[in-house]
Structure 1
Amino acid sequence: MASGFDVGRIIGFPWSVRFLPLFALSLGLTSVLSSSAAAEEEVFEATGLMRAETRWLVNSLERLHFSEMALEDIDMSDVIDSYMEDLDYNHLYFTAADEKAFRSRFAPPMARYLRSGNLHPAFQIFSVFQENALERVAWVREYLENDFKFDEELEYQADRQEVTWAENEAELDELWKRRIQFELLNEVIAKMSPPDPEQDLEIGLEGMTEPDGEIAAIEEEIEPEEPLSFDDALVEAKEVVSKRYDRLETEMERFESAEVQEIFLTTLANSYDPHSIFLSSDSLEDLSIAIENSLVGIGAVLADEDGYCTVRELIPGGPARLSEQIDVNDQILAVAQGKKGEYVDVVDMKLRKIVKMIRGEKESIVRLKIRPAEAADPSARKEVVLVRDEVQLTANLARARLYQIPMDDRTVSIGVIDLPSFYGSDLPDHPNSSDDVAELISKMKTHGVEGMILDLRNNGGGLLSEAVELAGLFIPTGPVVQVKTVQGDLLHHDDRDPSVAWNGPLMVLVSKFTASASEIVAGALQNYGRAIVVGDESTHGKGTVQGIFRMTPPLFYSLSASRSDVGATKVTVQKYYLPNGESTQLEGVKSDVVIPSMNSLISIGEADLDHSMEWDTITPVSFGIEKDDAMDLVLVDDSLIESLREQSQSRMDSLEEFSYLDETIEFFKKRKDEKLISLNLVERQKQQDSDRTVRTAFRERRDELSASKYSYEPILLDTEEIAEEGVDEDENDSDSSFDIVLREGIRIMADWLSEIPEPQSSQAKNDLAKVDA
């Protein structure tokens, strides 16, 4: 998940004498701790810069972090456990004896080590990990020489995040036998399986305005792989797995001390909260590239999760999102270049290396082998072909649709505004989200819109100033968000413009992907009684903001003031609260009407992260809508919410689409809860066939239900070209043809409108092109 409206710039650490005594003390400890480690051979060595960066991180966390915790307040045994898990996320290399030894040796003196910039504990723990990994690679090579039939009744627990460390090497050996069989069997089944007719190979050309003939023709040239026999599949599977561990060996041998430092210091920072991290100079450069969007890629935010490159976010306007072939939480298993390049397995590969493979020249081709997030079987694969391109700015703009919904003896007009982020710029002729939404509202009003839905389900945040401006389109004046700083100061950002762009019925659609600035808007409008919030049970729950502080060389006498290869710390420095004093942190904004969603099965919220900062409250700020203003606004009260909730629940209990949704959720929940995976080929093939049958049945039911989809009229911004808009509206989100949550949101709005007398007169509605939705 994106960090929302985090401080988006590099900030130099403030020069102040109050930092000097701690640095002086740290320098004094160096010789003491160095002598204690001198007798033990150090495989890695910290440079002077790395020691300075370590002290810098400690001081940044202690002086700037919102929690105001000292290093001694942190349980260093937990830091060691987290570091071991960051290195060995599947609990395959370390043992319980290793954990006990590391805790005993390094937890008590850890704070003193870190204050002096000494990374001896991190290097020693990594050295054991490296040695164990290299020995295990040799073991894997020997084990792969065996013949495999996959005919025993064995099982493997693929999700090993919550398991304990193995007690001894014998237990690890047995675990590894099943691990390798699991990896081999996944590849064998994938290579033996015929192409899924429901997953045709498609190529994302939407990112290109004028694809040339060669690129446009590749769809015909790339053929799905033909299924192999068991023997041939096993030969190729062994080759894939063997290369995977060859690469692991190479990467282990090439690991540098700076890489170990970054892993360990980020683990330490994460013990304060999950958004505080250490950034090496290389990571800082990557972040700068991401902010400036100066490299061409596929428009996706990727993360390393248990050794798998996982899609965490799809950037609006990027090739990945426009292709409609990639979803959040999909796992990228292999990457190939061009239309005929060989696939390179990327399981357990360093994320930075994978990102470099996916980036490339504009209009070049990259092929991805993906394990879909919705796949119940770990052997599931699909190929996605993308054309690299820059993010299309127009695809990131607010857009609107006007629905005509039959209701009793009349038809009501309901507007839906989809806002993917809170964007803006101080430069002339650059779009701002608040101005664009105001323009769309104005245009829909000329067409007689009666109810408005603001869709923030895929809005991960953006500029705080724009969030405040946008909330102000629906309220006269007043505070939108309160800010508490690390110094304890309380500030609030107010809407100061008394004008209101829309005074009628208002709904905000939210999901677990609604984060940061979008949570502020949803929560503020809910506080003011201006909007009913509908969707997932709660939003993401990110109510903190981070600052990036680059190390200032003058504070370290051994460093040159001109060097640029220094790292930085990203530290949580502020917390956000709604006007009523409640934080959006951890708990998010709770929906007034909850609609079932597959998101309930995904661990994507702030509460799912370790060491998340707590939810709390502060004193409410004075806010509300004056009586004179209330006369001109449609407001929400408890009786209205209860009425709309009951009517919605009645539909959920009776409509076929909710029966379909409930059964889909239940199916995937059941498969997700099955922790043990069979290592028997016949059993897995039966399961695969069964799952494919179920998925096909679900797709057929969805297609049948889609026949009753609502029609809408697209409302365009002046800055958008009609031709481009036509493509995007017709081919945007693959679920837009049958978006159950949006459909129910529209029905809830219609229920609300039914309780409001029909306007005496309605403005003429222009004839617009009708599009099915």
Structure 2
Amino acid sequence: MSLFESAGRALALSLLVAAPTALALPSPGEDQRQAAMEVAESLRYGHYADVRLDDQWSTRAFQRYLDILDSQRAYLLQSDVDDFSDLRTTMDDSIKDGSLGRTYELYGRYQDRAEERLDWLLSQLDKLDMSFDGDERLVLERKDEPWAKNESELDALWQKRLANAALTLSISGQDDDEVVDTLRERYQTQKHRLEQTNADDILTLVMAGATSTVDPHTEYLSPRQGESFDIQMRLSLEGIGALLQSDGEYVKVASLVPGGPADKGGSLKPADRIIGVGQEGENITNVVGMRLDDVVELIRGPKGSKVRLEIVPGESADTTRSTVITITRDTVKLEDQAASSEVIEVKREDGSHKVGVIKVPAFYVDFDAWRAGEENYRSTTRDVAAEIAKLKAEKVEGIVLDLRNNGGGALQEANSMIGLFIDRGPTVQVRDARGRISLYGDTESGTDYDGPLVVLVNRLSASASEIFAGAIQDYGRGLIVGSNTFGKGTVQTLNDLSYGQIKLTRAKFYRISGESTQNRGVKPDIAYPSLLDPNLIGESALDDALPWDTVREVQYRTYGTPRQYLKKLQSRHQQRADESPNFHYLEQRADLASKLREQLTSVSLNREKRQQEANQQDDEMLSLENERREALDLEPLKEWSEARESEEEATTTDESKEDQPVDRAEVEESAEILLDFVDLGPSWQFATKLD
């Protein structure tokens, strides 16, 4: 059984769709029917959880299917939902025996409604009111709203949605004619894509409704989607290096591939929503409401070409405010993800102290070279061992291991890298669907480093990163600092079906203490403020994520008791944080972003009011940024939009480290905590000196 850790979190796959134009709704063929039956068998007898395809499950699957088709309650009527209410108790039978007719018919009803709505929108463009002087507001999130009772209710909703689309373009600088032309092209493109739907596309949606009720990582892949997944697993995919997922009508950036174009450029960030995609020299196509696989296909392209993305920053509460960025596509190579190190000097009253920092972007291994028996194949463990040797030669007083944004990778590398810091012992438990537990561990004697250690994590540290951090914490081998990790504690296998494949959750990770990393992640010993909202990013933010639980603890010896110093360490950290402009800024900015998300549930369709609301938000954010800059003797910014550009420039040009508030402040504070750790433990428990 092969274990796929890939990105290590519940992230959407890069899907490929190549559908011929269809004049009538495709019907399920024998291939689709057989695939559905095999998916049902896989869920019932192969999934980690006890999955029962009964009427109770059917009700959930039917509701999820509706959510996938029409998450914002903007196309279907209550009468449409009632017409297919039989699926509430028969969808399980449809999947088990391959009788997909009704599920395809429901998609057909949705497609008819969507095409009718697009025709209606196109008919409204020539009489579009561009004055924007009314008092109406548009509710931004409608997933919990009741279904419309009649067409007139939907007309009223879409009048607002159309006005909002036009106002957004108008505010961005387009004149009235350009607004109309842009919207006409947008709606015509969306209609054309609907007309291209084929039988596999519908099967994928039906299966998504079925599998996502079980857990967010179990997924059916059509034959062409399976090919795309294979490409992604080989890391030879040419694109921007971003993993995307659906978020209602939006496509959201779930994470960035370490060393990829987006990661290097610094312009795209996790939680950003992509609302438009354009090729170099072409107009941007609006992708709001477009299926994830279609958006991915637009973004993908050959190495060296450029793609323009219109994004709504994840920190923005107003989903109608956007900016356009350009990314040059490239291929992610192994060396782009390699571990690296640096030595930083921390000045204190007793003099200058040297602390080593090792950045580990991913858990990687050159499988081809390893299988070929090459002696010097590349891997995370080998590269980290080399960086440790360099830092020892520099006579550092301790090491900070930076696992922020590390989404996982090869399980064997997380296991072997723990062995660099402990002298043999268990590292992780894996429990399968039958309840059998396999224990993995470090079997080699000796360590590469047994000095003071701090592991820095954040919300995007997932899977293999959580296994490593959890083991270090359980062994008392070092301190974990940062923000709560992602919570990806499940294992998937990729199984072939007669038609397509299924990615199936088959096992669960557990720490040697018996606690699962699933859902809750690893809680740091000392917490830092985070700009990533855990309600938007992380396993706990995903629907139907498997729960946290425990198994029996295994026997292991601890290396120390760093937690006995936590009160004093926390006190010293908080004193520095209160005096640090960067940490103060992070705390305030996180609080403000959370407040704005809670307050902004709708947007004004009045141009003047919309601009006032936007300016007020910008002013608050700008005030926080300039307060930080003033404290650091940096030039103040005139507009809030310059803040993102400033961060992007600092990422790509290696300018002053002071101008990277999140990244650098956390690294430097982690070094301070490490030195406090050394100072508070006068008889340091790890006796080997760095020589």
Q: TM-score, normalised by structure 1?
A: 0.79
Q: Which amino acid aligns with 2:465?
A: S
1:81 corresponds to which of 59, 63, 74 = 63
With over 3 angstroms needed to count, the CA separation of the structure-2 counterparts of 1:740 and 1:168, relative to structure 1, is farther
SS of corresponding position for 1:107: helix
Supply the distance in 2 between the matched residues of 1:58 and 1:392 (Cα, whole angstroms): 37
CA distance in structure 2 between the aligned counterparts of 1:727 and 1:235, rounded to whole angstroms? 38
Equivalent in the alignment of 1:680 = 606
**Which position in structure 2 is the counterpart of 1:359?**
300
Q: 1:547 aligns with which of 493, 499, 512?
A: 493
Deviation, structure 1 residue 118: 1.0
**Which secondary structure state, in structure 1, belongs to the residue aligned with residue 332 of structure 2?**
coil
Q: Which region of structure 1 is more displaced relative to structure 2, 180-189 or 275-284?
A: 180-189
TM superposition shift of 1:727: 8.1
5+ residue gaps, structure 1, are 8-41, 192-227, 554-565, 709-725, 765-773
* Residues 486, 539 of structure 2: 8 Å contact kept: yes
Displacement of 1:763 after TM fit?
A: 7.6
2:343 paired residue number:
402
CA distance in 1 between partners of 2:209 and 2:601 (Å): 27
Q: CA deviation at 1:77?
A: 1.4
Q: Pick one of 754, 757, 766 that aligns with 2:679.
A: 754
Read off the aligned partner of 1:247 and give its amino acid letter.
T
**1:166 is aligned with what amino acid?**
A
Q: Alpha carbons of 1:156 and 1:390: their partners in 2 closer, same or farther (altered >3 Å)?
A: same
Larger mean Cα displacement after TM superposition, 244-253 or 497-506: 244-253
Q: 5 Å matches for 1:185-196?
A: 185-191=167-173
Contact map agreement 2:276 2:311 (CA 8 A) in 1:
yes
Are 2:303 and 1:370 equivalent residues in the alignment? no
The amino acid across from 1:452 in the alignment is I
Residue 599 in 1 paired to residue 532 in 2? Answer: yes
Would you say the 8 A contact 2:47–2:505 is kept in 1? yes
Q: Is 1:646 aligned with 2:571?
A: yes
* Cα distance change on mapping 1:465 and 1:601 into 2, 3 Å: closer
What one-letter code is carried by the residue in structure 1 that aligns with 2:256? L
The answer for the alignment partner of 1:470 in structure 2 is 417
Deviation at 1:267, TM superposition (A): 1.4
Cα deviation for residue 242 of structure 1 reads 2.3
The 1:57/1:317 distance shift into structure 2, 3 A limit, reads same
Deviation at residue 524 of structure 1 after TM alignment: 0.8
Q: How does 1:754-773 map to 2 (within 5 A)?
A: 754-757=679-682
Q: 1:529 aligns with which of 476, 480, 486?
A: 476
Greater Cα shift, 611-620 or 682-691: 682-691
Q: Distance in 2 between matches of 1:396 and 1:735?
A: 21
Cα distance between partner residues in 2 of 1:527 and 1:610: 29
**Match for residue 277 of structure 2?**
335
Superposed, 1:167-246 pairs within 5 Å as 167-191=149-173, 232=175, 234-246=176-188
Residue equivalent to 2:91: 110
Tell me the equivalent position of 1:14. Answer: none
How many Å apart are 1:492 and its aligned residue? 0.5
Task: Give 3-state SS (helix, strand or coil) of 2:508's partner.
Answer: strand
CA distance in 2, matches of 1:4, 1:344: 28
Match of 1:568 in 2: 501
- In the alignment, structure 1 residue 486 sits paired with structure 2 residue 433: yes
CA distance in 1, matches of 2:82, 2:332: 49
Which residue in 2 is equivalent to 1:689? 615
- Give the aligned partner of residue 420 of structure 1: 361
Query: Which amino acid is 1:471 matched to?
Result: I
- The reply on whether 1:662 has 2:603 as its aligned counterpart is no
2:19 aligned residue: none
Shift of 1:761: 13
Instruction: Provide the rounded CA distance (Å) in 2 between the counterparts of 1:79 and 1:531.
Output: 44
3-state SS of paired residue (2:415): helix
For residues 75-121 of structure 1, the C-alpha deviation after alignment (integer angstroms, 9 at most, x for no partner) is: 21111111011011211012334334433x12223222222111122
- After TM superposition, give the deviation of residue 351 of structure 1 in Å: 3.1
Conserved? CA contact 1:657–1:705, under 8 Å = no
- 1:265 equivalenced with 2:207 (yes/no): yes
8 Å Cα contact 2:9/2:486 also seen in 1: no
Mean Cα displacement is larger for which, 436-445 or 366-375?
366-375
Could you tell me whether the CA contact under 8 Å between 2:5 and 2:410 is conserved in 1?
Answer: no
Q: In structure 2, how many angstroms separate the alpha carbons of the residues matched to 1:275 and 1:169?
A: 37
Kept in 2: contact 1:57–1:569 (CA 8 A):
yes
Structure 1 pair 157/361, CA: closer, same or farther in 2 (3 Å)?
same
Match of 1:586 among 514, 519, 527: 519
* Equivalent position SS for 1:71: coil
1:278/1:236 CA distance change after superposition, 3 Å: same
Partner amino acid for 1:113? S
Residue pair 1:512, 1:605 contacting (<8 A) in 2 also = yes
Q: Is the 8 A contact 1:186 1:378 kept in 2?
A: no
Q: Which runs of 5+ in 2 are unaligned?
A: 11-23, 635-650
Amino acid at match of 2:407: G
* Residues 6, 485 of structure 1: alpha-carbon distance in 2 compared, 3 angstrom cutoff: farther
1:184-230 superposed Cα distances (whole Å, 9 cap, x missing partner): 11111112xxxxxxxxxxxxxxxxxxxxxxxxxxxxxxxxxxxx5xx
In structure 2, the CA distance between the partners of 1:733 and 1:75, relative to structure 1 (3 Å rule), is farther
**Cross-structure match for 1:300:** 242
Residues 532 and 636 of structure 1 are in contact (CA less than 8 Å); yes or no, is this contact kept in structure 2? no
Q: Could you say what secondary structure the match of 1:109 adopts?
A: helix
Deviations 1:28-60 (A, max 9, x none): xxxxxxxxxxxxxx9542111111111110111
Asked if the contact 2:186–2:285 (Cα under 8 Å) also holds between the matched residues in 1, the reply is no
C-alpha spacing 1:502/1:386, structure 2 compared with 1 (3 Å): same
Cα distance, 1:115–1:496 mapped onto 2, change above 3 Å? same
Output the CA distance in 2 between the equivalents of 1:2 and 1:142.
49
Quick check: which has more Rg, 1 or 2? 1
Which residue matches 1:616?
A: 549
1:652: Cα distance to partner?
3.3
| Letter of the structure 1 residue corresponding to residue 28 of structure 2 | A
Match of 1:713 in 2: none
| 1:166 CA drift (Å) | 2.7
Q: For residue 329 of structure 1, report the CA deviation from its aligned partner.
A: 2.1
Alpha-carbon offset, residue 734 of structure 1:
7.8
Equivalent pair of 1:601/1:669 in contact (CA under 8 Å): no
What amino acid is the match of 1:572? T
Which amino acid is 1:663 matched to?
A: Q
Rate the CA distance shift 1:458–1:95 in 2: closer, same or farther, 3 A. Answer: same
Aligned to 1:557: none
Which SS does the other structure have where 1:739 is aligned?
Answer: helix
8 A Cα contact 2:32 2:200, kept in partner: yes
Deviation, 1:685, is: 1.3
Shift of 1:374: 2.6
TM value normalised by structure 2: 0.88
Letter in 1 for 2:454: M
Bigger shift: residues 647-656 or 259-268:
647-656
Q: Which amino acid aligns with 1:118?
A: S
Contact 2:451 2:688 in 1 (8 A): no
Residue 135 of structure 1, aligned match among 108, 116, 121: 116
User: How far, CA to CA, are the matches of 2:294 and 2:94 in structure 1?
Assistant: 31
Q: 1:389 to 1:583 in 2, by over 3 A?
A: same
Query: Aligned AA for 1:152?
Result: G
Q: Which moved more, 1:599-608 or 1:174-183?
A: 599-608
Q: Which residue of 1 aligns with 2:218?
A: 276
How far apart are residue 74 of structure 1 and its match? 4.8
What's the counterpart of residue 39 of structure 2?
57
Superposed CA RMSD:
2.7
Please tell me whether the aligned partners of residues 483 and 574 of structure 1 are also in contact (alpha carbons under 8 angstroms): yes
